[in-house]
Chain A
Amino acid sequence: MDKNAQIISGAIEVLHRNVDTGTPAASLDPRAKIIVTAVFVTVVVSYSKYSVLDLLPYFAFPLFLIVIGSISLKALFKRMLPAAVFAVMVGIANPFLDPNQVVINNYAFSAGWVSFLSILIRFSLCAAAAFLLILTTEMSRINMALKYLGVPDVFINQMFFMERYIVLLADEALKISRARAARSFGKKGYGITVFTNIITNLLLRTYTRAENIFNAMQSRGFTGTLVRGNKLKWKLYDTLFLLSWIIFFLSVKFNLIGSF
């Protein structure tokens, strides 16, 4: 398959996630999940550049979600792999630039490699948290939570529509891509002219589509709100989730768990 077609199909697969709504993870209030995830990533990035062992307890959170969400590890790793490449590319300079040494538990290590490892761990934790959030929560519930948390309608409508039409547009891009591949006899990659033609084509179709959708919305009395936020019900279970994890993160961060 044409390389571009591969990229697009891969992306469509990522976007088309199926949230298993029967799991405990899915029934958690999305607001709780969003808040805990936000606290989690903030605490993780607050560590100094040489932190490695200190960060290990934080793996408890993604592991917990994996278990209660019945997430397949394979699916998670598949997503994390391409993103991990970025982290490696960025962090790989550290071992060559940092000439110092760092002492951990009475052993001396090359500081550059320690900070590189720290970068990888940070990345894994944060990426896993983001992926687990969307793997356990449907977009509609994320939008509802955002609305509750005070995000303006304009932005919620935006996320809403984008999610609805990304796959469709990616499909159209794929079709154009295949049509082009069928007439290019093995020539790889798009020249800039061809690319420009493809996206102009896609853009024009996008405009027509937007007008049609707008007409359909108007015809059914659209007034400006798409997502009604009153369907979320906060339960004791959610309070427990929220409080226990935040307390855990803060305890680890401020060394209240006295094991170091």
Chain B
Amino acid sequence: MTTHIDIKNLSYSYPDGTAALKSLSLSFKEGQTHALIGANGAGKSTLLLHLNGTVLPQCGSVFIRDCEVSKKTLYKVRQQVGMVFQNPDDQLFMSTVFDDVAFGPSNMGMKEEMIDECVDSALNQVGLKHLAGRHPTHLSTGEKKRISIATVLAMEPDILVLDEPSAGLDPGARRMLINLLKSFAHTKIIATHDLDMALDTADTVTLLYQGEIFAQGSPVEIFNDRKKLEQCGLEQPLSISRY
């Protein structure tokens, strides 16, 4: 399996001097689901923001296949890497669901008729075609999260990056989301506190601690290592710790 995303010696510090990422090196294989776990402040979100150039590397590099993420390649990178942010209200800023899903393709210069098809297809994939005319404020969190995913699916990216996708969802909506993610063939990078979801969906798990990689491996390896998880401020997923 080929490397889809390659991160080399990535460092980043906040304006006040705190180091968020310390010379991180990491790669993600194509077609797989990669979970990124760690306590709050470990650097997960900062790392994700580098993947589509929302934050540019202060030191080190990020490669999407053989394209380095830089100011010049932002357009190309953002078409290939679809980012779903944590708060769906910040992601759905248009007045109707249709407009939100059409936002990306429209900015890419797609023609009107093609946009309609694109939006249709994206909403179908998340099973919410019937909500196309609705105002985002009137939807449930679960629906908003799925539509957020649709907004990036419409751009037909190869990679999906999701920041805490299951946060705030009721069990039914959460299960729908997990099944949805499993149905996508894209390379997926998911930052999450929901360790059970990571166990359920991920092919690899990376454990971050204070801006560095603490451990990396298969879900079974990482989640069975209780000591390491607790050192990083986490604990074992319920599905494992119960048995």
Q: Given A168-B137, A216-B93, A228–B106 Cβ distance below 8 Å?
A: yes
Contacts of B54 in A (CB 8 A): 215, 218-219
> Could you tell me the dominant secondary structure of chain A's interface residues?
helix
Instruction: Determine, out of B18-26, B82-90, B194-202, B216-224, the stretch whose residues face the partner at the interface.
Output: B82-90
**Which residue of chain B lies nearest to A139 when distances are taken between CB atoms in the complex?**
B95
For B95, give its contact among A140, A215, A219 (CB under 8 Å).
Answer: A140
Give the one of B54, B93, B108, B151 with max A CB within 10 A.
B93
Q: How far is the CB of A211 from chain B (nearest CB, A)?
A: 9
Q: Give CA–CA (A61, B47) in the complex, Å.
A: 59
For B94, give its contact among A138, A219, A221, A226 (CB under 8 Å).
Answer: A226
B107 & A140 in contact (Cβ 8 Å cutoff): no
B52 & A219 in contact (Cβ 8 Å cutoff): yes
Residues of B112-168 at the interface with A, using a CB-CB cut-off of 8 Å, are 137, 151-152, 155
Interface size class of B (residues with CB under 8 A): 20 to 34
A163 & B137 in contact (Cβ 8 Å cutoff): no
**Which residue of chain B lies nearest to A138 when distances are taken between CB atoms in the complex?**
B95
Contacts of A161 in B (CB 8 A): 93
**Which residue of chain B lies nearest to A160 when distances are taken between CB atoms in the complex?**
B95
A216 & B91 in contact (Cβ 8 Å cutoff): yes
Q: Given A168-B89, A212-B85, A215-B49, A220–B95 Cβ distance below 8 Å?
A: no
B152 & A220 in contact (Cβ 8 Å cutoff): yes
Residues of B75-113 at the interface with A, using a CB-CB cut-off of 8 Å, are 75, 78-79, 82-83, 85, 87, 89-91, 93-96, 99, 103-104, 106-108
**Which residue of chain B lies nearest to A226 when distances are taken between CB atoms in the complex?**
B94
Q: How far is the CB of A249 from chain B (nearest CB, A)?
A: 32
* Chain A 202-224 interface mask (CB, 8 Å, partner B; 1/0): 00000001001101111111110
For A215, give its contact among B82, B85, B104, B106 (CB under 8 Å).
Answer: B85
Q: Number of A interface residues, CB 8 Å?
A: 24
Residues of A144-197 at the interface with B, using a CB-CB cut-off of 8 Å, are 160-161, 163-165, 167-168
Contacts of A165 in B (CB 8 A): 93
> Could you tell me the dominant secondary structure of chain B's interface residues?
helix
For A213, give its contact among B75, B90, B107 (CB under 8 Å).
Answer: B90
Contacts of A217 in B (CB 8 A): 93, 103
Q: How far is the CB of A87 from chain B (nearest CB, A)?
A: 32
Q: Give CA–CA (A164, B89) in the complex, Å.
A: 10
Q: How far is the CB of B186 from chain A (nearest CB, A)?
A: 15
Q: How far is the CB of A169 from chain B (nearest CB, A)?
A: 11
Contacts of A219 in B (CB 8 A): 52, 54, 78, 82-83, 85, 152
Q: Give CA–CA (A30, B106) in the complex, Å.
A: 24
Contacts of A226 in B (CB 8 A): 94
B90 & A220 in contact (Cβ 8 Å cutoff): no
Q: Give CA–CA (A228, B137) in the complex, Å.
A: 21
Contacts of B104 in A (CB 8 A): 220-221
**Which residue of chain A lies nearest to B83 when distances are taken between CB atoms in the complex?**
A219
Contacts of A213 in B (CB 8 A): 90, 93
Give the one of A138, A160, A167, A220 with max B CB within 10 A.
A220
Q: Give CA–CA (A139, B95) in the complex, Å.
A: 9
Q: Give CA–CA (A201, B237) in the complex, Å.
A: 35
**Which residue of chain B lies nearest to A228 when distances are taken between CB atoms in the complex?**
B106
* Chain A 125-142 interface mask (CB, 8 Å, partner B; 1/0): 000000000000011100
Residues of B33-52 at the interface with A, using a CB-CB cut-off of 8 Å, are 49, 52
* Chain A 52-72 interface mask (CB, 8 Å, partner B; 1/0): 000000000000000000000
Q: Give CA–CA (A215, B106) in the complex, Å.
A: 17
Q: How far is the CB of B68 from chain A (nearest CB, A)?
A: 18
Could you list some 5 contacts between A and B, CB below 8 A? A212-B87, A220-B104, A220-B151, A220-B155, A221-B79
Given contacts A139-B95, A212-B85, 5 further A-B contacts (CB under 8 A): A218-B54, A219-B54, A220-B103, A220-B104, A221-B78
Chain A to chain B: the 6 pairs with minimum beta-carbon distance, closest first: A221-B107, A212-B90, A220-B104, A219-B83, A216-B91, A140-B95
